[in-house]
């Protein structure tokens, strides 16, 4: 990370499709979807897709969605 850069946290959903590929989607950024053969590859690919998406928003003067803060809550079943 370079000086002056900020870090965003965005929710990413990752599922395995019927062919065994990992499909990653960022619901905050409509249409921002990627995939990979492995979980690691899918995470790297969606990170790259998010960065490109945000650069496009900046270039076109569009608002950038805010970061999210999430917590995991455990419940007994």
21 CB contacts (<8 Å, ≥6 apart)?
Answer: 35, 36, 37, 42
Residue 54 lies inside a defined structural domain of this protein: yes
Query: Within 10 Å of residue 32's Cβ, how many Cβ atoms?
Result: 18
Q: Which domain holds residue 55?
A: 31-62
Convert the pLDDT of each residue in 2-39 to its tens digit.
Answer: 666 788 899 999 999 999 999 999 999 999 999 999 99
pTM: 0.82
Convert the pLDDT of each residue in 61-74 to its tens digit.
Answer: 999 998 888 888 99
Write phi, then psi, for 46 (nearest 5 degrees).
Answer: -70, -35
In the chain, which ranges are continuous DSSP H helix? Answer: 39-59
Distance CA 50, CA 12 (A): 10
Q: How many domains does the chain have?
A: 1
Residue 58 lies inside a defined structural domain of this protein: yes
Residue 4 lies inside a defined structural domain of this protein: no
Residue 14 lies inside a defined structural domain of this protein: no
């Amino acid at each position: 990370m370079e000086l002056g850069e900020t870090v965003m946290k965005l929710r990413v959903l990752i599922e395995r499709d019927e062919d065994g590929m990992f499909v990653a989607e960022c619901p905050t950024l409509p249409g921002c979807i990627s995939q990979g053969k492995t979980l690691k590859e899918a995470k790297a690919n969606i990170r790259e897709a998010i960065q490109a998406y945000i650069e496009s928003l900046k270039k076109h003067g569009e608002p950038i969605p805010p970061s999210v803060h999430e917590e995991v809550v455990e419940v007994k079943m």
